[in-house]
Structure 1
Amino acid sequence: MRLTRRRLCSSAIALYCLFSLYAAYHVFFGRRRQAPATVVRGLRKGAAAARDRHGQAEQPPLEMEEWNPWEGDEKNEQQQRIKNRLQILNKSTKGKTHISVQIWSKAAIGLYLWEHIFEGLLDPTDVTAQWREGKSVVGRTHYSFITGPAVLPGYFTVDVNNVVLVLNGREKAKIFYATQWLLYVQNLVQIKKLEHLAVVLLGNEYCNNEWINPYLKRNGGFVELLFLVYDSPWVNDVDVFQWPLGVATYRNFPVVEVSWSLLHDERPYLCNFLGTVYENSSRQALMDILKQDGHDKLCWVSAREQWQPQETNESLRSYQEALLRSDLTLCPAGMNTECYRIYEACSSGSVPVVEDVMTTGSCGNTSVPRPTPLRLLKAMGAPFIFIQNWEELPAVLEKEKTLILQEKIERRKILLQWYQHFKSELKMKFTNIIESSFLTTNKP
Structure 2
Amino acid sequence: MQIRCFGYYKNMRVKKFLLVIVMCVGYGIVSLYTAYIMLKQREENHSAPNTRVLSRDLNSVNISAKHVQIWDVGNIGSYLWQDILQGKLPNTERNRWSQSALTLQGFSFWYRQSHNLQPKHAPHFIDDCLILAIDAHDKSTQQNAKAWMDYTLGLEHLLRIGLLVMGEVTCENDWLQPYLKLEKIKFVFLMYDSPIIDNKKVFAWPLGPTPEGNQDLQEQFKSLDISAPRKYTCNFIGTIYPKTSRQNIMDLSNDKVAQKCYFAWRNRFVQTQGKQSFSYQQVISDSDLTISPTCLNSECFRTYEAIALGSIPVIEDIVLPKNCNSTDSAPYALLKKSKAPVMFIKNFEKDLPTFLDEFEALSSYQKVRKRLSLLKWYIGFKMDLQKQFISIVQERFLNPSR
Give the TM-score, by structure 1 length: 0.72
Closer, same or farther: CA 426–108 of 1 in aligned 2, 3 Å: same
Q: Which residue of 1 aligns with 2:167?
A: 203
Q: 1:397 offset after TM fit, Å?
A: 1.2
Q: Which residue of 1 aligns with 2:55?
A: none
Residue 107, structure 1, aligned to residue 70, structure 2:
no
Return 337-346 or 150-159, whichever deviates more: 150-159
Contact 1:231 1:364 in 2 (8 A): yes
Equivalent residue in structure 1 for 2:99, among 124, 133, 139: 133
1:235 aligns with 2:194: no
Structure 2 CA distance for aligned equivalents of residues 144 and 410 of structure 1: 39
The aligned counterpart of 2:345 is 387
Which residue of 314, 336, 353 corresponds with 2:314? 353
Tell me how far apart the structure 2 counterparts of residues 270 and 243 of structure 1 sit (CA, whole Å).
Answer: 30
The reply to whether residue 301 of structure 1 matches residue 263 of structure 2 is: yes
C-alpha RMSD of matched pairs (Å): 2.0
Displacement of 1:233 in angstroms is 1.1
Q: Does 1:214 align with 2:173?
A: no
**Cα-to-partner distance string for 1:400-440 (whole Å, 9 max, x where unaligned):** 22222221221111111111111111011001001011111
* 1:428 partnered with 2:387: yes
Aligned with residue 154 of structure 2, among 177, 180, 187: 187
Residue identity opposite 1:316 in structure 2: S
- 1:377 aligns to 2:335 (yes or no): yes
Residue 225 (structure 1) aligned with residue 184 (structure 2):
no
Could you tell me how far 1:254 is from its partner in structure 2?
2.9
Q: Counterpart in 1 of 2:59?
A: none
Deviations 1:356-379 (A, max 9, x none): 11112421147x5xx531111111
CA displacement at 1:250 relative to structure 2: 2.6
- Provide the C-alpha distance between the structure 2 equivalents of 1:338 and 1:244, rounded to a whole number of angstroms: 9
One-letter identity of the residue aligned with 1:113: L
Equivalent position SS for 2:199 = coil
Q: Which residue of 2 aligns with 1:9?
A: none
Deviation readout 1:64-92 (Å, 9 max, x if unpaired): xxxxxxxxxxxxxxxxxxxxxxxxxxxxx
Q: Deviations over 1:168-217 (max 9, x none)?
A: 111111000011101101110xx2x201001110001110101011111x
Q: How many corresponding residue pairs?
A: 336
State the match for 1:401 in structure 2: 360
% same residue: 32
Structure 1 residue runs of 5 or longer lacking an equivalent are: 1-96
Distance 2:395 2:373 in 1: 32
Distance 2:119 2:240 in 1: 39
- Any gaps of 5 or more consecutive residues in structure 2? 1-63
Contact 1:256 1:348 in 2 (8 A): no
What TM-score do you get using the length of structure 2 for normalisation? 0.79
Give the superposition deviation at 1:287.
1.5
Which position in structure 2 is the counterpart of 1:161? 128
Secondary structure of the residue aligned to 1:145 is strand
1:263 alignment partner, SS class: coil
Please, which of 203, 225, 228 is the counterpart of residue 265 of structure 1? 228
Q: Aligned with 1:170: secondary structure?
A: coil
Structure 1 residue 151, shift from structure 2 partner: 5.1
Taking the aligned partners of 1:195 and 1:220, their CA distance within structure 2 comes to 11
Alignment check: 8 A CA contact 1:116 1:255 kept: no
Report the Cα distance in structure 1 between the residues aligned to 2:183 and 2:292, rounded to whole angstroms. 38
The residue identity in structure 1 corresponding to 2:230 is R
Contact 1:131 / 1:150 at 8 angstroms: preserved in 2? no
**Aligned pairs (5 A) from 1:4-83:** none
Give structure 1 regions of 4+ aligned residues with deviation exceeding 6 angstroms.
none
Equivalent residues of 1:353, 1:385 under 8 A apart:
yes
Q: Tell me the equivalent position of 2:28.
A: none
Question: Displacement, 1:253?
Answer: 4.9
Deviation at 1:137, TM superposition (A): 2.0
Bigger Cα displacement from structure 2, 107-116 vs 426-435: 107-116
Q: Could you tell me how far apart the structure 1 residues matched to 2:228 and 2:93 are?
A: 30
Aligned mates of 2:166, 2:224 — CA distance in 1: 34
Compared CA separation, residues 431 and 403, structure 1 to 2 (3 A) = same
Amino acid at match of 1:383: P
The C-alpha deviation readout for 1:324-347, integer Å capped at 9, x for no partner, is 110000000111111000100011
